[in-house]
Chains A and B, each alone.
Chain A
């Protein structure tokens, strides 16, 4: 069975500090990985994806993520957090045909001024 784990329900950082939101996955086959962000009372918005190629991928709003096959991880990072980054972040994985997507439970990011 395919699954995604986000081990932290909540991450707190101070504005200007680097942030990391963790994601690990378990799939049978090559993973295709995604990060989405959800602001209150809104649908999810795409941030970035790893399909193939460079392990470090860059996305919207200054976010980046590193694919680590040996550790089966795809952690989301940003060098300098903004208060406006406060939101709910979801990691997701799909397989070769992209028919189904499996989401993690979400991590609430709080950035304090």
Chain B
């Protein structure tokens, strides 16, 4: 039982490049979330999903897109990376009240 996994763990991008972050969960949870963590700002919700095939915007959605084609996977895409998107990205899933978090992806945009 791996819980929530994230791929990749680290990535360096140049401004304007694109990439996709993958989140996978094996707990059959309906809800999945993408957050970014920045120093002094805590976690901010980017997008979330309440079930397979659904997505919705969170607090800071601009510059990101998501897809949930399969219940166990939640993808976060950056179409044209900007230095302001340098952050640590966390995925989480939820079945009951408690969220289960992945180990994070550290992204640097130069």
Binding site for A on B (CB under 8 A): 4, 31, 33, 35, 40-45, 48, 50, 56, 58-59, 90, 92, 94, 97-104
Contacts and interface: CB of A to CB of B under 8 A. Distances in A.
Contact of B101 (A45, A99, A102): A45
Contacts of A41: 103-104
Interface stretch (A14-22, A74-82, A103-111): A103-111
Considering the complex of A and B, which 3 residue pairs feature the smallest CB-CB distances, nearest first?
A43-B101, A103-B43, A103-B42
Interface residues of A, number: 25
A100 B103 contact: no
20 contacts: A4-B42, A34-B98, A36-B99, A41-B104, A42-B103, A42-B104, A43-B90, A43-B103, A43-B104, A44-B90, A44-B92, A46-B98, A46-B99, A90-B42, A90-B43, A92-B43, A100-B48, A100-B58, A102-B59, A103-B35
Contact of B97 (A9, A42, A49): A49
A105 B40 contact: yes
A51 interface: yes
A98 B103 CA distance: 22
A9 B42 CA distance: 11
